[in-house]
């Protein structure tokens, strides 16, 4: 059942065999990244299929099958088989695939796969080199280990929502499922680290990934704000807690982002806006002073930027080396010349997608097939 030859010999993970027992987002996202990197990923679906096949609209019609665009966003490059774990024949087939796999990727609730002999401890008895990555909401240990995890809930629990939104507004989730997607990314890192260790030891291992762990791990400087002061970092909207002027500013035909993150860049911005007179103003002479007088400074800058057309201001900022950019809706993202030059959009057999963002000097991605039809590979 595994491919006899790599999908793309020049891909970094060419020849790697990945059995994906995953559905919805975090697990399939990790599987898609591994597939883009050249792994042979076999997705095992229940007879009902991955639930995201029905998460439309919008829909994609491909080779006689109608599936949600959501499904196609996370399953490119894989092959699909259908297996009912309660059917002895199907279960034996999945176990055989696992016995010859390099990686098993799964996101079942803790303890579920042990009922079918598909847990790491059981599979490792016949495949000592197996790396098994288990993705759950809360991990394999702890008081919530047996609970299901959902991105929205994890965003709330992890601190993300408390940090996102306007200071006086309602806490907000992010516009993408950041907890799921981040866990998928971290899972790929963990899998590759375990594979590198296998080269030294000859043994595989279990990689225990939790959505909550990954989201807490992303708190970065915000976590250190609390850990060093004992106080919660404030919700800042589009402002930056440590830098001013830094935010969204009006222009005559919309809004732009300005991010002059040090004294030199701030001075360049004032000169560009024709406000050299403020260079000697003690209220704005240092970042600390600018933070203390943020409201006055933002109002002054907004008054100047509002006189400009967006493209003119951004062009001049680019010439001056001032970090600045538009606030693009998604259609303008894919119309952006830089995004186009980097080839971020891919079209595979009539199905559009976004490639994994890796560019190598001596390797290439394996972008050879769209998402599979349910059970389309046997």
- Residues tagged active-site: 180
Cα–Cα distance, 245 to 261 (Å, whole number): 8
What's the chain's length in residues?
378
Cis-peptide into 58, omega within 30 deg: yes
- 298 sits in which H/E element: helix 294-305
In the chain, DSSP finds a helix count (H) and a strand count (E) of 15, 13
Among 145, 61, 133, residue whose Cα is nearest residue 98 = 133
Rounded to the nearest 5 percent, the helix, strand and coil shares of the chain are 40, 15, 45
3-state SS, residue 95: helix
The answer to whether the CB of 17 falls within 8 A of the CB of 101 is yes
3-state SS, residue 207: strand
Cα–Cα distance, 114 to 206 (Å, whole number): 14
- Long-range contact set of residues 220-223: C-beta below 8 Å, sequence gap at least 24: 222/159, 222/163, 223/159
Cis-peptide into 245, omega within 30 deg: yes
């Amino acid at each position: 059942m595994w491919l006899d030859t790599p999908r793309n010999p020049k891909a970094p993970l060419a020849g790697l065999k990945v059995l994906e027992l995953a559905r919805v987002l975090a697990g399939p996202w990790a599987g898609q990244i591994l597939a883009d990197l050249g792994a042979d990923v076999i997705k095992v679906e229940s007879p009902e299929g991955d639930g995201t096949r029905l998460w439309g609209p919008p829909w994609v019609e491909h080779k006689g099958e109608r599936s949600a665009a959501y499904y196609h966003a996370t399953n490119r490059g894989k092959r699909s088989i259908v297996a009912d774990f309660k059917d002895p024949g199907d279960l034996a087939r999945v176990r055989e695939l696992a016995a010859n796999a390099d990686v098993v990727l799964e996101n079942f609730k803790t303890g579920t796969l042990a009922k079918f002999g598909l847990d790491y401890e059981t599979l490792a008895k016949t495949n000592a080199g197996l790396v098994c990555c288990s993705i759950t909401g809360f991990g394999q240990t702890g008081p919530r280990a047996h609970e299901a995890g959902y991105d929205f809930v994890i965003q709330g629990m992890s601190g993300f929502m408390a940090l996102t939104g306007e200071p006086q507004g309602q806490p907000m989730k992010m516009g993408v499922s950041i907890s799921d997607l981040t866990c998928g990314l971290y899972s790929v890192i963990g899998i590759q680290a375990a594979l590198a260790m296998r080269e030294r030891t000859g043994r595989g291992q279990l990689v225990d990934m939790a959505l909550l762990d990954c989201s807490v791990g992303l708190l970065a400087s915000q976590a250190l704000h609390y850990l060093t002061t004992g106080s919660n970092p404030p919700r800042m909207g589009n402002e930056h807690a440590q830098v001013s002027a830094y935010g969204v500013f009006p222009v005559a035909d919309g809004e732009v982002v300005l991010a002059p993150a040090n004294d030199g860049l701030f001075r360049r911005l004032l000169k560009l806006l024709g406000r050299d007179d403020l260079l000697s103003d003690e209220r704005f002479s240092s970042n600390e002073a600018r933070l203390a007088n943020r409201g006055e400074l933002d109002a002054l800058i907004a008054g100047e930027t509002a006189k400009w057309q967006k493209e003119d201001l951004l062009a001049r900022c680019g010439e001056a080396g001032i970090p600045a950019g538009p606030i693009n809706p998604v259609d303008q993202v894919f119309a952006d010349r830089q995004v186009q030059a980097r080839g971020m959009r891919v079209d595979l057999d009539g199905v559009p997608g976004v490639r994994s963002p890796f560019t190598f000097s001596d390797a290439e991605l394996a972008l050879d097939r769209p998402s599979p039809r349910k059970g389309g590979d046997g």
